[in-house]
Structure 1
Amino acid sequence: MNRYRNLGLFVLLATLWGGAFVAISAGLSYIPPILFAALRYDIAGVLMLGYAAFAVDRWRPRTGAEWIQVAVGALLLIAAYHAFLFVGQQNTTAAAAAILVSLSPVLSTGFARLLMPVDALSPVGIVGVFVGLAGVAVIVQPDPSNLLATDAVAKGLVFCAAAAFALGSVLTRRLDASLPIETMEAWSMLGGAAALHLVSVALGEPLEPAAWTHPEAIGALAYLSLGASAVGFLIYFDLLERLGAVEINMVSYVAPIVTAVVGWLYLGEVVDVATVIGFGLIAVGFLLVKRQAIRREIGYVRSRGSSE
């Protein structure tokens, strides 16, 4: 029964997170990108903090190390990641953005090895990182004669978003504070939202009054803050405890499929051949980088199945 429950939650999480990229594209038609990201985490952060106060025994950071971990999460996992993503997604498809973001687990491994040289990548792992980066190049298709083309710059910004998230993931783990993950996420969301608001004000982003009453804008914001963020992270925490980091990372490779289908149905976006090939290369890169962990996970699942 647990196996079917985990599978159902995994599919639901991939659907929520895959649909988030489509919601971003829809909402960007009405709300400026940085402000849109800030509003998303205003709501999600308050909800997550309420959940942390209910579910864990430590709803706020206490030590300096814990506040540093929250600050890193706020600046990299929330503010930098979403600023790059939302600005970049103004000029690229939701599916391309989702696929580029799926590079994060590969980049996380690369950053981890750079910051902790004693745990160096094997030659095969290094090849995996470069295969994943080759997938990015295939998707972006940079033109040496016009590197500042709108589409290329947009996809480059989304790649920066993936890199910021990967670096933030590594740094928050390396700090190794004893703060519960729910609490860290809640305060990071609120801190990241505050940082995004400051950037939005500095840029002088306008907000048309009609955006507050347009059903599509309200629906996109509600989906992102309630569905993809609040509900999505609760499912993520549950599956992380049940499945572990390796299996939960596979969500990154199912979500883009959801994005492509929903983006085609709702936004009329078409996924080109280059994007599909790039996705394949990024997935292969992930398998090469995580091959040992995947092998161990498969062995564990098999042994658990045989014992049942």
Structure 2
Amino acid sequence: MSDRSRQLAIAGVLLAVLCWAGNALVARAFAGEIPPFALAFWRWSTALVIVLPFVVKPLWHHRRDLLHAGWRLPVIAGIGIAGYNTLLYSAAQTTAAINITLVNTCIPLMTFICAGLLLGEWPARRAWWGMGVAVLGLLVLISQGQWSTLASLSFNQGDMIMLLAVTDWALYTVLLRRWSRYLTPIPPLAMLGIFMILGVPLILPLYLYELSTGAHMALIPANFAAIGYTAIFASLVAYLGWNHAVKVLGAAKASMANYLMPVFTAILGWLLLGEGLQVFHWVGGAMIFCGLILATRPGRA
């Protein structure tokens, strides 16, 4: 792996997590305005409309590679497109933001375990130490520097849904790596396009069921803007960066970047909502960055 390729992969995964931090803010801010299945369906439908003109020709050119990948494509599409974000948006309806952040940080550990069991890629001891440092930094952020805050946390149905989402995303990440020899011949944008083509129809029945219950989205500019952000940044930009990082860095190392989610969320809250950054933000963020550097340095597995 060249240094340039590794640097591009790290930049891609950081950009992906930054976009998803914004996605989490949108999910929380519009939880009462846009029903979860509606947000998931229109997010991916809009992204598909944007990307489709650019992927039709590459997909036709690589039709034999698509046929060779076969059943693996709908499996990945179901897990990565129809699964994770639909579960996250559902969880946002019934749980607090801090709980989503807390449960979501189980992704690196779940990915470490899945990568070890399914790929035989057990991380080096240094990576486990790095994950430990990052977890401590995360706890500093969540507790706001007061450990008694952790004892007051409570969990509900939304948190159980987030646990399913975490498992879903870990599987998506690991399967991208496991089946990379089938996916590598397909250009990144075309691969994301076929995932969306296969994934959107899987969300449609859930969206139709939601409509039948009387849950509707108001046709107002703010809702359209939320869908536009999730379609362009949380879908196209983030998934392209993430998929590339998994291919170059591996599933376990790429997943460590999820610890930056609360850091980026705090920064976005400061920039967009005027929420001040406290000492615990800086301390926790610094510990997370140190843990990531320790865990992702090149070395023997």
- TM-score, structure 2 as length reference: 0.69
Corresponding residue number in structure 2 for 1:35:
38
TM-aligned CA deviation for residue 56 of structure 1: 7.5
From 188, 198, 205, the counterpart of 1:198: 205
Partners of 2:14 and 2:53 in 1: CA distance: 26
| CA distances 1:236-282 after superposition (whole Å, capped 9, x unpaired) | 567678x74477545423332122343467679999xx999999999
From 12, 22, 35, the counterpart of 2:25: 22
- Whether contact under 8 Å (1:15, 1:258) holds in the other structure is yes
TM-aligned CA deviation for residue 15 of structure 1: 3.1
Which amino acid counterpart does residue 207 of structure 2 have in structure 1? S
Partners of 1:198 and 1:278 in 2: CA distance: 42
- Whether contact under 8 Å (2:111, 2:171) holds in the other structure is yes
TM-aligned CA deviation for residue 42 of structure 1: 1.0
Corresponding position: 1:188 with 2:204: no
Say if 1:56 and 1:238 are closer, same or farther in 2 by CA, change over 3 A.
Answer: farther
Say if 1:12 and 1:111 are closer, same or farther in 2 by CA, change over 3 A.
Answer: closer
Corresponding position: 1:106 with 2:109: yes
Corresponding residue number in structure 1 for 2:262:
256
- Whether contact under 8 Å (2:82, 2:202) holds in the other structure is yes
Unmatched 5+ stretches in structure 1 = 298-308
- Whether contact under 8 Å (1:28, 1:36) holds in the other structure is no
- Whether contact under 8 Å (1:46, 1:186) holds in the other structure is no
Corresponding residue number in structure 2 for 1:74:
77
Partners of 2:287 and 2:40 in 1: CA distance: 29
CA RMSD of aligned residues (A): 4.6
Partners of 1:85 and 1:62 in 2: CA distance: 32
Partners of 1:227 and 1:67 in 2: CA distance: 28
Corresponding position: 1:160 with 2:171: no
| CA distances 1:99-133 after superposition (whole Å, capped 9, x unpaired) | 533432331221122234x5557788789889999
Corresponding residue number in structure 2 for 1:304:
none
Which amino acid counterpart does residue 15 of structure 1 have in structure 2? L
Corresponding residue number in structure 2 for 1:208:
216
Aligned residues: 282
Corresponding position: 1:86 with 2:92: no
Partners of 1:57 and 1:228 in 2: CA distance: 26
Corresponding residue number in structure 2 for 1:229:
235
| CA distances 1:48-84 after superposition (whole Å, capped 9, x unpaired) | 4444346788455655552322111121112221222
Partners of 2:94 and 2:270 in 1: CA distance: 16
Which amino acid counterpart does residue 224 of structure 2 have in structure 1? I
- Whether contact under 8 Å (2:135, 2:259) holds in the other structure is no
Corresponding residue number in structure 2 for 1:174:
178
Corresponding residue number in structure 1 for 2:146:
none
**Higher deviation after alignment, 219-228 or 66-75:** 66-75
Unmatched 5+ stretches in structure 2 = 144-148
SS in 2 for 1:162: helix
TM-aligned CA deviation for residue 22 of structure 1: 0.7
Which amino acid counterpart does residue 97 of structure 1 have in structure 2? I
| CA distances 1:133-172 after superposition (whole Å, capped 9, x unpaired) | 9989x999799xxx9x7x4322232222111011122224
